[in-house]
Structure 1
């Protein structure tokens, strides 16, 4: 069988790093291309025989040639909360990939609008993902708990939500990487029989937790009572821990990002898919186990 070269960009961070880790034992290293802003973070992959390249979403000069000699590209979203700029960077990367001869693109989107009958979202953060998905058709827990820090405990978590259902089908980012690696392996081995070709698939946990149940698990692990206090989107965005985490190129998107809580209320993140379990051959790690290991 002819070799099939798989590329990952960006190939570091939570999803990218997890995908690299689980692709290396699944596909010949000589046919893997990992692209990152800091290639030194991928020295282990280069040592295993993979090709490592330097590229950054924000610099067209190196992005233009980053995707050469790649058959299938796994494109991971630009790290920002902006909408137009983020979607434009996705489109640019896709265009460069196509010009470079990339035949197939896997795109890592978010889990809002995860139901088959719902391709809209009220969440601000989801808009560039939906725009990118549309372009292709013609391409962590602390965010939702006001950056709860178990090393600096508080009595209240102030979020734009009361904690009730619908909930979230939590899943560990590394497991998303592993599931994606398995999808890429299956695709490369049998392009014609790949059943998810030209489809949007949902990788998620198999258990849905409300935000209250999520906080209850945190309380159990840190052994300190913590309650949810519902605040407005504006109050959420003004919190000292929130603004800096949602500031991109000098603009604070904290209040805009709080629209994710309305998306939760509408059940946009409550679709639990069995696909990741099938890809892994086991249940994805549950939320409590993941957070317990972090603590």
Structure 2
């Protein structure tokens, strides 16, 4: 079996992937890389290798991927494009120099049905990273890849509903969208983590020094789109939130200028730059149907129907 690395092995998606990998492969086959490796004491005790690596300190990535055959690369947590892409490039180049054979990359499920463009600013870095991985897979000394376009997390609803708080709910959601039209195929983050872990473990099991047998792992140098099984308009999303908190919740559409001018308590600020206006492009992408695509892939990988959105929201409470 190939040796598997996860970077960063922390955060919501990373922690979920690690948790599920530990049920699929021996801990001794795992290298878990994060900025705070001391948080992985349990995995270390189980036999996993733990190492320090940090996107923001490129020198920590120079040798941390050595002895890893298959890398699960989780995208840099940011909304920027250039800084985020550069962080990904640094990690990918370090992985290639260290001999990594295949890279799984956690992308995002904007850009519609496997499209290569999006109006959503947040998708920009993912598309650039996918392009880079495709180029490297076709060039000299190729490194193969699988880009997993992870569906919009059910748990990420606050950023699409102007920070709606289940524990201090408002009756009104003010966003630059009227709530109607195409919506979002929301999907539970832990189920994305489980499916991603299954893909990685499958590749590591059937793959070898010369790569996997195509019939056994059909996602080499391809994009995989993981979504929920039902699309909820933003109006329906607000109704689900309302039922969960026991009150009526409605959407009031406002303009982009008004939204950008609201006090978001710095939640749209990255490296000192307020990107609230850029974030508004996410609602335009939703309006155009970019997140209203449903695929059966998640269900097929899990072997069960994905958890529905309302169940996940009620579970949070």
Q: Normalising by structure 2, report the TM-score.
A: 0.89
Tell me if the contact between 1:237 and 1:243 (Cα under 8 Å) persists in the aligned partners: no
Which sections of structure 2, spanning at least 5 residues, go unmatched? 136-144, 146-155, 207-211
Q: Deviation above 4 Å: which 4+ runs of structure 1?
A: none
Which of the numbers 122, 141, 144 marks the counterpart of 2:157? 141
Q: Name the SS for the 2:159 alignment partner.
A: helix
Alignment correspondent of 2:119: 122
CA RMSD of the aligned region, Å? 1.2
Alignment correspondent of 2:300: 278
Cα distance, 1:243 vs structure 2: 5.0
Which of the numbers 289, 292, 302 marks the counterpart of 1:267? 289
The number of equivalent residue pairs is: 291
Residues 72-221 of structure 1: pairs in structure 2 closer than 5 A: 72-116=70-114, 118-138=115-135, 140-190=156-206, 191-192=212-213, 193-221=216-244
Measure the CA separation in 2 of the matches of 1:97 and 1:27: 21
Q: Normalising by structure 1, report the TM-score.
A: 0.96
Tell me if the contact between 1:33 and 1:50 (Cα under 8 Å) persists in the aligned partners: yes
Q: Name the SS for the 2:118 alignment partner.
A: coil
Cα distance, 1:32 vs structure 2: 0.5
Matched, 1:40 2:63: no
Tell me if the contact between 1:233 and 1:259 (Cα under 8 Å) persists in the aligned partners: no
Q: Name the SS for the 1:109 alignment partner.
A: strand
Which sections of structure 1, spanning at least 5 residues, go unmatched? none
* Structure 1 range deviating more: 139-148 or 19-28: 139-148
Which of the numbers 252, 271, 293 marks the counterpart of 1:229? 252
CA deviation map 1:266-290 (0-9, x unaligned): 1000111111111111111111111
Tell me if the contact between 1:29 and 1:48 (Cα under 8 Å) persists in the aligned partners: yes
